[in-house]
Amino acid sequence: MTDTKVWGIHTKDDNLFFNENVIAIGWHDMGDISVIQNDRELLKQKYPSVYPNKKPGAAPTDCGQIFRFINEAKIGDYVVFPSKIDRKINIGQIIGDATYNSNTDVYPRRRKVKWLKRGLARTSFSQGALYEIGSAMTFFSVKNYSDEFISALSGTNILNDTEDESEEISLQADSIIETTRDYVLKQLSTNLKGYPLEDLVADLLGAMGYKVTQSSKGGDRGIDIIIYKDELPPRIVVQVKSFDRDVPERDVQALKGAMNNNDYGLFVTLSDYSENAKKYLNGHTEIRGIDGRELVDLLLQYYDKLSDKYRTIIPLKRVYIPDVKE
């Protein structure tokens, strides 16, 4: 029993798993790999020729899943399958070696299973267990909460709810938020360098309720955008920089030099500010500096009011995540 492992698997074809009593994975274009399937390195060597457009990091991840499915998962091991159709948890036991079905274009690598429990409610398991089987991978090892799924087979669920679960939920929520921030910043850096970033910032400021006027491309004495909160002063002059390096003090000083006596300044960058630039901003409270992280937070806050153009470049959908308070 100590050698018995628990695996997790995802699929888009629930009916295949249940109607044919199998678990299955794809990567159909890899073809019949029976000659090399026991050698992880040979699988990784073959992968780029089959999927030339995949990112370099995809080969070890995908080939690792194929290798585990064929070689590391053993007859007698358990498999947990969270169904997408009804959001139920299903647990089976592997009863056959891996086979390759060349007649299908979807899930050609299969293993026979005996379904021991079907339709278990997700509320029967701890939040940590549900997070573990929510892995982004297709086939993966269940380690931390394997005992919960094994105990469910006898109907005596062992919930691993502890005082630390709120902390774990909070960490998961924070991870989702950080992943979203990283994604937005990457989209900006990739698709909106230079003048296009100025246009986005102008659109964002409009969404925030400012009256916006853009300078001609190339700037007016270092001013890219002029905004007012209403028809009356003060005027706020905006400089936008999209380079990756930290903004030096001299660039912030240049914005100050372009300001009239009663102006306020706003400096926006995708990156960060040098230590000297931060000191300069701290000493000149009439200028506000917004770095890449703050810019992303503002974009997320006013996302629904952005133009369709930018919601297409940065496609996001609203979701709710746990807000666990200490």
Over residues 95-115, the pLDDT tens digits come to 999 999 888 778 999 999 999
* Predicted pLDDT of residue 104: 79
Q: What 3-state class would DSSP assign to 79?
A: strand
Distance CA 155, CA 148 (A): 10
CA 95 vs CA 6, 32, 113, 151, 310: distances in Å: 14, 21, 5, 20, 51
And the tokens for 315? 């496609």
Residue 290 confidence class, pLDDT cut points 50, 70, 90: very high
Degrees, nearest 5: CA angle 242-247-249: 145
What are 249-264's pLDDT values in tens digits? 999 999 999 999 999 9
Burial of 109 by CB count in 10 Å (0-12 exposed, 13-18 middle, 19+ buried)?
buried
**Residue 8 CA to chain centroid, in angstroms?**
20
Q: From CA 274, how far away is CA 25, in angstroms rounded?
A: 49
Encoded tokens for 273: 């500010």
Looking at every residue in the chain, the average pLDDT score rounds to 88
H/E stretch holding 283: helix 275-283
Which residue has better confidence, 191 or 321? 191
Token digits for 6? 């628990």
Expressed in percent and rounded to 5, the helix, strand and coil fractions of the chain are: 40, 20, 40
Percent of the chain with pLDDT over 90: 56
Q: Amino acid letter at 129? A: A
Which amino acid would we find at residue 152?
Answer: A
CA gap 256, 264 in Å, rounded = 9
- In the structure encoding, which two tokens stand for residue 322, read together? 């746990």
Q: For residues 157 and 174, give the distance between their C-alpha atoms in angstroms, rounded to a whole number.
A: 29
Report yes or no: 312 and 162 within 8 Å, Cβ to Cβ.
Answer: no
In three-state secondary structure terms, 287 is strand
d(CA 205, CA 224): 13
pLDDT band at 12 (very low <50, low <70, confident <90, very high): confident
Please answer whether residues 120 and 89 qualify as being in contact, where contact means their C-beta atoms are separated by less than 8 angstroms: yes
Output the pLDDT for position 1. 45
